[in-house]
Amino acid sequence: MLISGAKLLKKAHEGGYAVGAFNFNNMEIAQAIFEAANEVSSPIIVQCSEGAIKYAGADMLHAIVKTLSEKYPHIPVALNLDHGTSFESCVHAIAHGFTSVMIDASHHNFEENLAITKEVVRVAHAADVGVEAELGRLMGIEDNIVVEGKNASLVDPDEAEKFVKESGVDYLAPAIGTSHGAFKFKGEPKLEFELLKEVKRRTGIPLVLHGASSIPDEVRASFEQTGGDLKGSKGVPANFLELAIKGGINKVNTDTDLRIAFMAQVRKVVKEKPSEIDPRNYFKPARAAVVAMLIERMKVLGSAGKI
Ligand code: G3H
Ligand code: 13P
Ligand code: ZN
């Protein structure tokens, strides 16, 4: 059942667990997400970046999710626009049946971020669509900006409290030290758990962890066994995800893990069967690998068994 992201995450917030928000831009990955959710009885959020929409079209991506949600009517699912960069982009997603939008105006200053987010909330709530915003900035591993002794790339709890109160946003992504992609930490993984707890205490709403891929050893190994290069890659360890959920995270954004798991199997077929020309024989094992990885992830997030 396709439902509002706000409704789905309110339940996770009250129940103290997190729902995986998994990116997709093709049928096979969307199928894998639903299959895994069905296997372990988990609610899910499926999400598309603006790049995914450019690649496949909002109408196509919505149609895939609508079809799958009708095939698995017992699975609560929200379709989220991931990192919408403008009011127009959010309106476009809402017009195409998305039930959640992220307005990512975190590259603007606080007041501008607040003003844009308020406008999105006004339109989205009229359509029963949940809204996510981001405070602080997700950076590359060495890009942190220090201003007046404070790390300006991390969320500021005072700002978070004011922002949530004034914007009416349903869930918030506070930057606590993660970044997108496969190379998240230079040394030991480190996240600002105390800061996270403070933001949760001050806002009292569902919180979102971006850049949450773990890059499990077996997934990295399967990619590297076929000559793939992920040297120096480092994800958020599974026990950090559990700590983040204890600290108030209810939506865990994951894309990189799905990409690696999927492409490792495509690479394997390329390597082992050089004369294979049927795309289905590449994508079938790739889809199965994503299902297996997601089943484990949903257990870590605590969403398994929550239907
Ligand atoms: O947040 C970023 C997601 O991994 C989406 O990435 O813009 O390449 O689709 P993308
Ligand atoms: P990863 O790159 O860690 O999978 O993060 C994805 C994400 O945050 C999408 O918004
Ligand atoms: Zn993100």
Query: Which domains are seen in the chain, by residue range?
Result: 5-301 (3.20.20.70)
- How many angstroms is it from 86 CA to the middle of ligand 2? 19
- pLDDT value at residue 141: 61
Cα of 173 to ligand 3 centre, how many Å? 9
The number of the ligand nearest the C-alpha atom of 260 reads 2
pLDDT value for 152: 66
In angstroms, what CA-CA distances link 176 with 66, 106, 179, 223, 288?
A: 33, 14, 9, 28, 32
Q: What is the pLDDT of residue 106?
A: 85
Ligand with minimal distance to 52 CA: 1
Instruction: State the distance from the centre of ligand 1 to the C-alpha of 166, rounded, in angstroms.
Output: 28
- Residue from 49, 179, 252, 260 to probe ligand 1 pocket by mutation (most atoms less than 8 Å from CB): 49
Query: Whose Cα sits closest to atom 1 in ligand 2?
Result: 211
Alpha helices in the chain (DSSP H): 5-15, 27-40, 50-56, 58-71, 87-95, 110-126, 157-167, 193-203, 217-224, 238-246, 256-272, 280-301
Q: Kindly give, in sequence order, each residue whose CB lies less than 8 Å from that of residue 224, ignoring residues fewer than 6 positions away.
A: 230
The residues lining ligand 1, judged by C-beta closer than 6 Å to any ligand atom, are 23, 49, 51-52, 82-83, 180, 255
CA distance 24 to 31: 10
pLDDT computed for residue 147 by the predictor = 65
Q: Closest ligand 1 atom to the C-alpha of 210?
A: 1
Longest Cα–Cα distance of the chain, Å, equals 60
Checking DSSP bridges between strand 150-151 and strand 77-84, what pairing results, if any?
Answer: unpaired
* Residue 156 tokens, joined: 């500021």
Distance 180 CA to ligand 3 centre (A): 6
DSSP characters for 243-289?
HHHHTTEEEEEE-HHHHHHHHHHHHHHHHH-TT---THHHHHHHHHH
What is the structure's pLDDT at 151? 72
- Residues with CB under 6 Å of ligand 2 are 23, 82-83, 180-181, 210-213, 253-257
Per run of 10 residues, the mean pLDDT along the chain (length 307 residues) is: 98 98 98 99 98 98 98 98 97 98 92 96 98 88 66 89 98 96 93 97 98 96 96 96 98 98 98 98 98 98 98
Catalytic residues: 82
- Considering only CA atoms, which of 162, 89, 94 is closest in space to residue 123? 94
Residues 6 or more apart whose Cβ sits within 8 Å of residue 120: 84, 87, 90, 101, 103, 131
List CB-based neighbours of ion ligand 3 within 5 Å. 210, 253
Index of the ligand 2 atom closest to the CA of residue 138:
8
d(CA 22, CA 139): 20
Who contacts 86 (Cβ-Cβ below 8 Å, separation ≥6)? 116
At 208 the pLDDT is 98
pTM beyond 0.75: yes
> 207 and 173 in contact (C-beta within 8 Å)?
yes
Instruction: Please give the distance, rounded to the nearest whole angstrom, from the Cα atom of residue 136 to the centre of ligand 3.
Output: 12
